[in-house]
Amino acid sequence: MSVMGAGAGGEMGGAPSVAAIEQFAGKGAARSAARRRGRPGAEGGTQRRPSWITYVLLTIVVIISFYPLYYAFLLASSTAPDIARHPIPSLVPGTHFFDNVSRVLESGVPFTQAVINSVIIAVVMSLSVVLFSTLAGFSFAKLRFRGRGPLLVFVIATTAVPTQLGVVPLFLVMKQLHWIGQLQAVIVPGLVTAFGVFWMTQYLEQALPYELIEAARVDGASMLRTFWSIALPAARPAATMLALFTFVASWTNYFWPFIVLGSKNPTLPIALQQLQAAYFKDMSLIMAGVVLSVIPLLILFVIAGRQLVAGIMQGAVKG
């Protein structure tokens, strides 16, 4: 685990105290201290347990993040007249959830198709992003080649390019390929991402010892073989997180799929938009669709939320 911003030591207000001078007397001392403190096991090690006020505040925060989802479920289990009569829904769900769900599935919107499409796109993109990013990350982190430094900087720079702005020409390309309305128009542009390459490079740099690669090479393994049987297994923890992030991003993506897929072959967010356009007077039906679209990711979150949290926090620390 690496620590950032340790060079910012002298920025406290007022004159530095004895402790602070000691702390920053030597870079080495500061470094080892930072490393010691930065380790997850040591976090807050000297602190007492916080008071109950902290838990009350956190409970409020968690309620705020859950309530809108529960609100959606409450509306999805009631009826349109009920919603009009009681803008503040009772905390006990109604009995119409399954009615509303079947109305969603029987509506003119191809909802089932949308679920299938969303699953296909998210799974294919997650697998491919992980594979290509790990391949590139292995190369950047562990292989020597001319131009490696500048090329890696280029990769990082591309994460700041607002690629959404290229939608007009990208649409023209897809039109030339006759891919409009087809899933590959969404999948292909996202087969590998700069974020993924950077992420895997960072991870493999510290997780994959050179000795292992050498051993494989001495045994006569080709580069590809070395990648497959040494680098890929070593990359597994980071690869899992990358797959999760890609899955979530793909599942929730709307702008580009909406432009290129259209209404006949939608993904879930597009189907929700169609539901809204067709049934805007019946919120119970729309919210049933919303709940259906959210449930798969909530299940994923229950299973793998821990990894998502860890991934965000590691990504932040490594910058």
Partner 1 sequence: MTSTRTPNVAGPTAGDELARTPRRAGFSQTLGRWDVKLSPYLYISPFFLLFIVVGLFPLFYTAFVSVHQWGLLKGQGDYVGLENFTTVLQQEIFWKSVRNTISIFLLSSIPQIAIALVIAAILDANLRAKTFWRMGVLVPYVVAPVAVALIFGQMFADQSGIINQVLRNIGLEGVRWHAEVFPSHVAIATMVNFRWTGYNTLILLAAMQAIPRDLYEAALIDGAGRLRQFFSVTIPMLRPAIIFVIITSTIGGLQIFDEPRMFDQDGRGGSDQQYLTVTNYIYQVGWAQKNFGRAAAVAWLLFLIIVIIGIVNYLITRRISSENQGGKKRKKVGA
Q: Which of residues 255-314 bind partner 1 (CB under 8 A)?
A: 255, 259, 268-269, 272-273, 276-277, 280, 283, 286-287, 290, 293-294, 297-298, 300-301, 305-306, 308-309, 312-314
Based on the shown chain and the rule CB under 8 A, indicate whether residue 228 belongs to the binding site for partner 1. Answer: no
Q: Which is nearer to partner 1, 31 or 236 (CB)?
A: 31
Cβ atoms of 3 and 314 closer than 8 Å: no
Q: Rounded to 5 degrees, what angle do the CA atoms 183, 291, 70 make?
A: 150
Q: ∠ CA 126-159-186 to the nearest 5 degrees?
A: 40
150 touching partner 1, by CB under 8 A:
no
Query: What type of residue sits at position 10?
Result: G
Per rule CB under 8 A, is residue 23 in the interface with partner 1?
Answer: yes
Among 115, 119, 120, 192, the residue binding partner 1 under the rule CB under 8 A is 192
Contact status: 238 vs partner 1 (CB under 8 A): no
| 213 is a contact residue toward partner 1 (CB under 8 A) | yes
User: Which range, of 90-98, 100-108, 133-141, 232-240, touches partner 1 by CB under 8 A?
Assistant: 133-141
The residue count for binding partner 1 (CB under 8 A) is: 143
Closest CA to 116 of 284, 279, 296, 244: 296
Distance CA 277, CA 280 (A): 6
Quick one: which of 113, 132, 232, 237 contacts partner 1 (CB under 8 A)?
132
Query: Could you tell me the smallest distance in angstroms from the CB atom of residue 242 to partner 1?
Result: 13
Amino acid at 180: I
**Which two structure tokens, joined as six digits, stand for 282?**
């019946």
Q: Is residue 163 within the footprint of partner 1 (CB under 8 A)?
A: yes
| Under rule CB under 8 A, residue 237 binds partner 1 | no
Q: What is the identity of the amino acid at 162?
A: P
Q: Angle at which helices 283-318 and 111-142 pack, to 10 degrees? A: 0
Is 57 or 236 the residue whose CB approaches partner 1 more closely?
A: 57
Q: Which amino acid is at 181?
A: G
Q: Which is nearer to partner 1, 240 or 273 (CB)?
A: 273
- Among 141, 243, 261, 285, the residue binding partner 1 under the rule CB under 8 A is 141
With CA atoms as reference, report the closest residue to 242 among 158, 298, 314.
314
Q: Does residue number 8 form part of the binding site for partner 1 (CB under 8 A)?
A: yes
Binders in 50-69 for partner 1, by CB under 8 A: 50, 54, 57-58, 61-62, 65-66, 68-69
Closer of 12 and 98 to partner 1 (Cβ) = 12
Cβ 289 to partner 1, closest distance in Å? Answer: 8
Smallest distance, partner 1 to C-beta of residue 7, A? 5
CA gap 309, 305 in Å, rounded: 6
Binding partner 1 (rule: CB under 8 A), the pick from 158, 182, 184, 263 is: 158
Q: Look at residues 91, 97, 61, 63 and name the one whose alpha carbon lies nearest to residue 295.
A: 97
Beta carbons within 8 Å of 315's beta carbon, 6+ residues apart: 199
| Closest C-alpha to 95, from 112, 115, 118, 76 | 76
The single residue among 107, 115, 116, 318 that binds partner 1, judged by CB under 8 A, is 318
Among 142, 244, 147, which residue's Cα sits nearest to residue 195?
244
User: Is residue 101 within a helix (H) or strand (E), and if so which, with residue range?
Assistant: helix 97-106
Rounded CA-CA distance 256/266 in Å is 11
Using CB under 8 A, which of the segments 5-13, 99-107, 119-127, 233-241 binds partner 1? 5-13
